[in-house]
Chains A and B, each alone.
Chain A
Amino acid sequence: DQQVKQNSPSLSVQEGRISILNCDYTNSMFDYFLWYKKYPAEGPTFLISISSIKDKNEDGRFTVFLNKSAKHLSLHIVPSQPGDSAVYFCAARGYGGATNKLIFGTGTLLAVQP
């Protein structure tokens, strides 16, 4: 059972436009969410996170929105740049437990066209 879902395997956007990557989750115990970016032949790198007590977190061109009632979060990239082309993973963490392990989505491949 996939607890974190990224239903769009790929997304293509023109340079300068907005990229919106979506993520849905099923477990209401998740209370911390993260986005990772992965280039080919590299490990995932942390991009931005949001706690469930917030509905928005912004860092430069990247903004994450959280809708707890809908169990949905999204990552907005504005403006999109060709260097943003990568696979983006959404991840969720439940509070408590010894490891607070991350549950990852399957990723969305973003292609930003020059």
Chain B
Amino acid sequence: SAVISQKPSRDICQRGTSLTIQCQVDSQVTMMFWYRQQPGQSLTLIATANQGSEATYESGFVIDKFPISRPNLTFSTLTVSNMSPEDSSIYLCSVRVGSRDTGELFFGEGSRLTVL
């Protein structure tokens, strides 16, 4: 298993500002994943963060809007830039423990952002 801590747990932000979410894992992992859950929606993968290389973004998500850092094997940040009310979501950090084919994802508790 893995213990994942996210900061902040929640925040209220003003339109046009940016917020950085931190994710700390208690063990070294190759890949960290950032998900978003908009109200009433499923969890959607934003990007995969690999240590030492650029993050890989899913369709519909771009680096300018969601820049990601991955300075080491236990830490990552996701920035939500130039926020609008549509960015109000729960943002979740996750890691896979186990093999690529059958390992489960473990999630942090999420960061709930409300953009006014």
A interface residue numbers (CB < 8 A to B) = 2, 4, 32, 34, 36, 41-46, 49, 51, 89, 91, 95, 98-102, 104-107
A107 — which chain B residues lie within 8 A by C-beta?
Answer: 42
Number of interface residues of B (CB under 8 A): 27
Whether B42 and A4, one on each chain, are in contact in the complex, defined by CB atoms closer than 8 angstroms, is yes
A2 — which chain B residues lie within 8 A by C-beta?
Answer: 42
Query: A31–B102 Cα gap in the complex (Å)?
Result: 10
With A43-B110, A44-B107 as contacts: A106 and B42 at CB distance below 8 Å:
yes
B interface residue numbers (CB < 8 A to A) = 4, 6, 9, 31, 33, 40-45, 48, 56, 58, 92, 94, 100-102, 104-110, 112
Query: A49–B101 Cα gap in the complex (Å)?
Result: 12
Q: How many residue pairs at the A-B interface have CB separations less than 8 Å?
A: 59
B88 shortest CB reach to chain A, Å:
16
B109 — which chain A residues lie within 8 A by C-beta?
Answer: 41-43
Query: A102–B95 Cα gap in the complex (Å)?
Result: 12
- Chain A residue nearest to B97 (CB atoms) is A46
Query: A104–B31 Cα gap in the complex (Å)?
Result: 19
Whether B31 and A32, one on each chain, are in contact in the complex, defined by CB atoms closer than 8 angstroms, is no
Return the 6 tightest CB-CB contacts between A and B, nearest first.
A43-B107, A104-B43, A46-B104, A104-B42, A106-B42, A43-B109
Whether B45 and A102, one on each chain, are in contact in the complex, defined by CB atoms closer than 8 angstroms, is yes
Query: A42–B9 Cα gap in the complex (Å)?
Result: 10
Whether B92 and A43, one on each chain, are in contact in the complex, defined by CB atoms closer than 8 angstroms, is yes
Whether B4 and A43, one on each chain, are in contact in the complex, defined by CB atoms closer than 8 angstroms, is yes
Whether A32 and B101, one on each chain, are in contact in the complex, defined by CB atoms closer than 8 angstroms, is yes
Whether B42 and A46, one on each chain, are in contact in the complex, defined by CB atoms closer than 8 angstroms, is no
